Structure 1
Amino acid sequence: MPMLTPSSAPATTAAHRVGVIDMARGMALLAMAVYHGSWDLTYLGLADFDLFGDPLWLAARTGILGSFLMLSGLSLTLAAAGGIDRRRFLRRFALLVLAAGGVSAVSMVMFPDSPIFFGVLHHMAVASLLGLALLRLPWPALLLLGVAVIAIGRTVALPLFDEPWLRWIGLMSFEPESNDYVPLFPWFGGFLFGMALGRLWRPGPARTPGGAVGRGFAWAGRHSLAVYLLHQPILFGLLSAVAMGIGADPADVRSFQTSCVATCIAGGGEVAHCTATCRCVSDDLNRAGLWSDFIHDRLSADSAHKVDGVIQSCGSR
């Protein structure tokens, strides 16, 4: 493992990162914002993108995540060329850990059935530490190791790794419910590819990105963590306001409506009556503040009694 020295990377490397790597990271951030915005639109009932079934959307997610991880591995290798700045590395690592913890905490409140326990920020924090131990490897070894990590992640699935405390590794026998799951296998392979590229790349003369667009991408890339943390709450908040304004049903309401109507019809109810009853139930539960606990099966005995009352009242209308 290389020494964590107080010295900084050469000035040419830092400047080159601003002109090339940060701009590339900014472009990846834009692609990520488009993807997250599409998820928000679907969740809030404003669109119907098949993000988890359409091969194009799946490829987009892979490309966006892979680009972030490759850029992180590349940045680590280039920064280490002149010795790693200990304070800067530890500060960045601490920020990643804090940000990852914050994302997990918020997701547990907003999406208790699919919390983020090992997302992209968690992965980057762990990958940074592992990357330090591998910095001395030549690029062919890093490349082969990356291929091996991806191959293992795609082919190995063992019940041993189903334990909650081992799920971050990624060799589980099932896909966990999570809104952002980026396990070590196979995704660390992308980070290793970036490290291999960093071994091969010799930064040229520093160049400032030209034009307002290029400078904008570079600025976003230099502040990527802040942009990452802020863009989704802003997007989700704005789109939620739009959804409320036009009366769009979020994903959980649509799912309930579909299941409720199907069950009602199967029990002999008429389509119109079943549709109206199920709509009444979801609307009244929302107004009573019971919807979240109802849909996530967290009802207390008293709340369950109130829900029964709502269902009976709606069914008799």
Structure 2
Amino acid sequence: MALYHGSWNATFLGLASFDLLGDPLWLAARTVILSSFLLLAGVSLVLASRGGLDPLRFLRRLAMLAAAAVAVSLSSYLLFPDSPIFFGVLHHLAVASILGLVFVRLPGLVTLAAALAVGLVGDTLSFPAFDQPWLIWVGMATVPPNSNDYVPLFPWFSGVLAGIALARLWPGIGRGEAPAGGIGRALAWGGRHSLSVYLVHQPVLFGLFWLAAQAVGTEPATVREFHASCIAACTQSGGGLDQCQANCRCVQRELTRAGQWEAFLADRLDGPGRQSIGEAVRSCGGG
């Protein structure tokens, strides 16, 4: 997970150019990482209810998940307003923890069949009715939303159900010896505090990669995309490459001076902001 997020940070900040959304290997890596999260959540739900579910402990954990999910959403709306996280892995885990209670006492094969059904339905069916914003979390929309972390109920709840089924079919799971050695104890500590690790590691990594990007002078992916599209449009209109590069840098400079650059990148320009674009283009020789 940390390696994947580090690769995302490096790409976003211009330190690398990993094709995280198109390369089959990166897509497979994301699937494996996310599936392992959900599988272990299902196993943990069974382990937590083996001797009878402790309602207070369950509700405390659920409240922590919900609070963490809200914090992630608020942070994403501030940092990435064009692709916020409104139903990511933490949101999913909070909902799945409630729904999973229905299955923790069912036979493992029944839950395994339910997992296969959820995965199949989520991968094959979609309906326009689920395109509504308040239903997009279900996962059966015809058009996926633009989000940096989207983990809808279908098909991903199948991972939690698979974990529940595994724990039901393997009664001895979770009863091994405590790990020995420094590395083993460190991994065990991380497992016991996985939510804290999840919440802390990405801000720390992003900050470190941001410092590295500042040190070497790279540009974020959104800035590179702007320059690429701006130069392409300019050269297609008959401009020379050098002049187009200068004009596009000028537009960025003028929008920054007008306080509209960040809003432009996030596609959140209001009327005065759109007027600033026109003025910047004209002043930079774009007509």
Partner of residue 84, structure 2: 115
In 2, Cα distance between the equivalents of 1:251 and 1:198?
43
Matched with 2:215 is 245
Q: What is the CA distance between 1:174 and its match in structure 2? A: 1.2
| Cα gap change, 1:205 to 1:231, in 2 (>3 Å) | closer
Q: 2: distance between equivalents of 1:61 and 1:200? A: 27
Question: Given that residues 126 and 140 in structure 2 are in contact (C-alpha distance below 8 angstroms), is that contact kept between their aligned partners in structure 1?
Answer: yes
Q: CA deviation at 1:203?
A: 4.0
- 1:56 partnered with 2:25: yes
Structure 2: 5+ residue stretches without partners: none
- 1:212 equivalent in structure 2: 182
Equivalent position to 2:136, from 145, 162, 167:
167
Q: Does 1:276 align with 2:246?
A: yes
Distance in 1 between the 2:42 and 2:30 partners?
18
SS of residue matched to 2:284: helix
Aligned-partner Cα distance in 1 for 2:267–2:108: 51
Cα distance in 2 for residues equivalent to 1:283 and 1:210 = 57
Structure-2 change in CA distance of 1:144 and 1:295 (3 Å)? same
- In structure 2, what is the equivalent of residue 142 of structure 1? 111
Structure 1 length as normaliser, TM-score?
0.86
Aligned-partner Cα distance in 2 for 1:37–1:218: 22
- Cα deviation for residue 246 of structure 1 reads 1.4
Tell me, what secondary structure is at the counterpart of 1:94? helix
For residue 134 of structure 1, report the CA deviation from its aligned partner: 1.6
**Runs of 4+ with >6 A deviation:** none
TM-score by length of 2: 0.95
Structure 2 CA distance for aligned equivalents of residues 167 and 300 of structure 1: 27
CA apart distance, 1:204: 7.1
Aligned residue runs from structure 1 range 217-228, under 5 A: 217-228=187-198
Q: Quick one: structure 1 residues 204 and 303, their matched pair in 2 at CA, closer, same or farther if it must change by over 3 Å? A: closer
| CA-to-aligned-CA distance 1:118-146 (integer Å, 9 cap, x gap) | 10000000000001122221000011100
Question: Which of 77, 80, 84 lines up with 2:49 in the alignment?
Answer: 80
Structure 2 distance, partners of 1:50, 1:305, is 35
- Give the counterpart of 1:295 among 248, 265, 273: 265
Query: Per-residue CA shift, 1:224-259, capped at 9, x if unaligned?
Result: 111111111111111111112211110110111111
Q: Which amino acid aligns with 1:67?
A: S
- SS of the equivalent of 2:49 reads helix
Structure 1 segments unaligned to the other structure (5+ residues): 1-31
Deviation at 1:113, TM superposition (A): 1.1
Q: Distance in 2 between matches of 1:299 and 1:62?
A: 35
Letter in 2 for 1:315: G
Q: CA deviation at 1:307?
A: 3.7
Distance 1:196 1:238 in 2: 40
Matching of residue 33 in structure 1 with residue 2 in structure 2: yes
| Whole-angstrom CA distance in 2 between matches of 1:186 and 1:301 | 41
Identity of aligned residues (%): 56
Distance 1:87 1:105 in 2: 27
Larger RCO (CA within 8 A; separation ≥ 6): 1
Q: CA deviation at 1:267?
A: 1.0
205-214 or 98-107: which moved more? 205-214
RMSD: 1.6
What is the deviation of 1:287? 5.1
1:138 partner amino acid: P
C-alpha contact 2:167 2:173 (8 A) present in aligned 1: no
